[in-house]
Amino acid sequence: MVVKERRTFLGVCLGALFAAGAGAIAYPVFRYLAPRHEAGNNSKVEIPESELTAGNAKYFEYQGKAAVLIRRNNGALVALSAVCTHLGCVVQWQKEKEEFLCPCHAGLFTADGTVISGPPPKPLEKLSFVVANGKVIIG
């Protein structure tokens, strides 16, 4: 009788140990493979207007990807995805020319994201924004 209870107890302990070990392995694998939950994270980005002087760009992360807000020399604000539409490199703001240059294959875009030259098949994605209380709110 005592032997049977010991075996049952050991079986329960081994089962619990196996379950804990399987969970310790499965959880990181699940976290790696599961899609990122980005909706609530970075769904809106606020940038103080004071951080944007004429001709300059402010890079930030939007929905897990590189994005950029620029104030053109004429004062207009433009918010774009900074991810090149060719193979996904991050475009660089060329302040003097008011253009974006992709460092990977020399794709060239205007300040509003239109393709000027190079391999990018389409313009940079425009991001919607509003300006309120001295902040630019993207998204």
Residues in contact with ligand FES by CB under 6 A are 84, 86-87, 89, 102, 104-105, 107, 118-120
- 84-109: b or e for each residue (b if 16 or more CB lie within 10 Å)? bbbeebbbbbeeeebbbbbeeeebbb
46 vs 99 by CB, closer to ligand FES? 99
- The nearest distance, CB 89 to ligand FES, in angstroms, is 4
- The nearest distance, CB 38 to ligand FES, in angstroms, is 22
Q: What whole-number distance in Å separates Cα of residue 1 and Cα of residue 9? A: 12
56 vs 92 by CB, closer to ligand FES? 92
7 vs 105 by CB, closer to ligand FES? 105
- The nearest distance, CB 43 to ligand FES, in angstroms, is 26
DSSP3 helix / strand / coil % (the chain, rounded to 5): 25, 30, 40
45 vs 102 by CB, closer to ligand FES? 102
Q: What whole-number distance in Å separates Cα of residue 82 and Cα of residue 65? A: 8
Q: What is the CA radius of gyration of the chain?
A: 25
- The nearest distance, CB 113 to ligand FES, in angstroms, is 13
Q: What whole-number distance in Å separates Cα of residue 44 and Cα of residue 57? A: 18
